[in-house]
Amino acid sequence: MTDVDSILSFTNIFSDLVMVIVIMDVVALIIALFLERYDPRAFTTWLILLLFLPPVGFILYLYMGATIYNRRKFVPKNISDTQLMQAHEWQRDVLERDIEAHPEAAGIFHMAKSMENAGAWSYSNNNDISVYTEGDPLFRDMIEDIRGAKRSILIEYYIIRNDHDGNELLELLTQKVREGVEVRLLTDAFGIGKGPKEGIFRFRNAGGHYATFHSSINLALSPKKNNRNHRKIALIDGRMAYCGGFNIGDEYRGEGPLGHWRDATVKVSGAGVLPMLVRFCADWQYCANRDPLKPMEAYIDVTIYTNGGSDRMQLISGGPDTMPNNPVQMQYHSMIVNARSRLYITTPYLGPDDSMMVALANAARSGVDVRILIPDKKDHIFLYWNNLTCANELMRSGVRIWRYNDGFVHEKMILVDDVYSSVGSANLDHRSTTLNFETNVMMYSERINDQLCEQFLADLERSTEYSCEEFDRRTTMMKIRMAVSWQMKLLA
Fold equal for 71-112+124-312 and 322-491:
yes
Q: Residues 415, 343: contact at Cβ < 8 Å?
A: yes
Residue 382 host element (H or E):
helix 381-395
CA atoms within 13 A on the CB side of 26: 6
Q: What is the model's pLDDT at position 221?
A: 57
Per-residue pLDDT at 28: 58
Q: Whole-angstrom Cα distance, residue 438 to residue 432?
A: 7
Q: Can you give the pLDDT at residue 79?
A: 53
Dihedral sign, Cα of residue 332, residue 335, residue 338, residue 342 = negative
What's the pLDDT score for residue 78? 45
Encode pLDDT of 383-397 as tens digits: 888 889 999 999 999
How far from 18 is each of 5, 55, 271, 461, CA to CA, in Å?
Answer: 20, 8, 60, 58
Cα–Cα dist 363/397, whole Å: 9
pLDDT, position 70: 45
Which pLDDT does position 219 carry in this prediction? 57
Alpha-carbon distances of 252 from 258, 263, 287, 462, rounded to whole Å: 10, 8, 26, 19
pLDDT at 374: 97
- Cβ burial of 141 (10 Å; 0-12, 13-18, 19+) is middle
List b or e across 413-440, with b for residues whose CB sees 16 or more CB atoms inside 10 angstroms: bbbbbebbbbbbbbbbbbbbbbbbbbbb
Q: What is the mean pLDDT of each run of 10 residues along the chain (492 residues)?
A: 55 61 61 54 61 62 53 51 58 82 85 86 92 98 98 97 96 98 95 90 97 71 73 97 97 95 97 93 89 90 88 93 87 95 97 94 97 93 87 96 97 96 96 92 96 98 96 86 70 53
Is the torsion defined by CA of 432, 434, 437, 442 positive or negative? positive
The ranges assigned to domains in the chain are: 3-65, 71-112+124-312, 322-491
Q: Which fold has domain 322-491?
A: Endonuclease; Chain A (3.30.870)
pTM here is 0.86
Per-residue pLDDT tens over the stretch 189-244: 888 888 899 999 999 999 999 999 877 665 555 556 678 899 999 999 999 999 99
Class of domain 71-112+124-312: alpha beta
Q: Which residues are marked as active site?
A: 230, 232, 237, 410, 412, 417
